[in-house]
Structure 1
Amino acid sequence: MAEANNIQLVERFPDAGDYCRLRSEAGMSPKTLQAARKGLPNTLYGVSLQVDGEVIGMGRIIGDGGCFYTVVDIAVAPAYQGRGLGKRIMTALDTWLRQNAEPSAYVTLVADGEARHLYAKYGFVETAPASVNMEYIVAPHAPE
């Protein structure tokens, strides 16, 4: 197991294969390789954590580059969790946003479970009940 100081932060998001693998390892919803290949080039800014060239963590920012930004895909491989690596990823993303986003920009993310405590350290606040996260996954629908 690599020490935290042997884990390199790279200002580049993983390729589609590593992205799909790490989402799965971290317990996130799976994405197809086709979807990843289509979506990842639209990343505004992304980072990877690597150990000897292997991607063990990631995070990225998507959005319109002016008014709206969304922090997504923050994941750390289970064997490396609990070492402050999510904070390392968030610090890089937050630094980029503060240097590049307009002061009026609206930045969002979906916090799963206890991760909301980490995100609060970066200024994110829960908005419910005034606003709630709403979502759906596009899937084939049976004809009516």
Structure 2
Amino acid sequence: MISRSDRPAGVAEFRTLREITGLGAFSEEASAIALANTLHAVWLRDETGQLVAMGRLTGDGGCFAQITDVAVHPDRQRQGLGGEVMEGLMSWAETNLPEGCYLSLIADPGAEHLYRGFGFAERFGMARSV
């Protein structure tokens, strides 16, 4: 049984889920900072309490917000959990972010269909790492 949890991900499990889903693991320091600066998150856990899916909203919460870290454990993919994470994030965003707030995300190839279902459209964007 998978259910939504009020218990936020710890740094280690956040890093582990990112790594095993191919998102890459940031350093412990960077991950701790990121988690502390989350606007809203959806954490899905199994009956043992293991984190099996997650997604976060980050940003300033006024003009800009970004959906990040949407990840589903490889053993739990294709079960609708990504959609459940997105439903939770979008519900919170539509209720709590001000009108006109620019909501963005960067999708890995192959995940575009999930995000299109929530009204996201492809735009030109650029990114780089520090």
Shared topology, TM-score over 0.5?
yes
- Equivalent-residue separation in structure 1 for 2:84 and 2:12 (angstroms): 23
- Listed one character per residue, the Cα deviations across residues 46-102 of structure 1 (whole Å, up to 9, x for unaligned) are 011101211111100001011111000000110000111100000000000010011
1:12 Cα deviation (Å)? 4.8
What residue number does 1:135 align with? 127
What residue number does 2:18 align with? 23
Which of the numbers 4, 18, 39 marks the counterpart of 2:34? 39
Work out whether residues 12 and 45 of structure 1, in 8 Å CA contact, stay in contact via their aligned partners in 2.
Answer: no
1:107 Cα deviation (Å)? 0.2
Q: How does 1:64-143 map to 2 (within 5 A)?
A: 64-127=60-123, 132-138=124-130
Tell me which structure has the larger Cα radius of gyration: 1
Which of the numbers 4, 22, 25 marks the counterpart of 1:9? 4
Superposed CA RMSD: 1.1
Q: 1:96 to 1:11 in 2, by over 3 A?
A: farther
Q: How much identity, in percent, do the aligned residues show?
A: 36
Unpaired runs of at least 5, structure 1: 1-5, 139-144
TM norm structure 2: 0.94
- Equivalent-residue separation in structure 1 for 2:24 and 2:36 (angstroms): 20
1:13 Cα deviation (Å)? 3.4
- Equivalent-residue separation in structure 1 for 2:7 and 2:56 (angstroms): 9
Which of the numbers 27, 44, 58 marks the counterpart of 1:49? 44
For residue 38 of structure 1, what is the amino acid of its counterpart? I
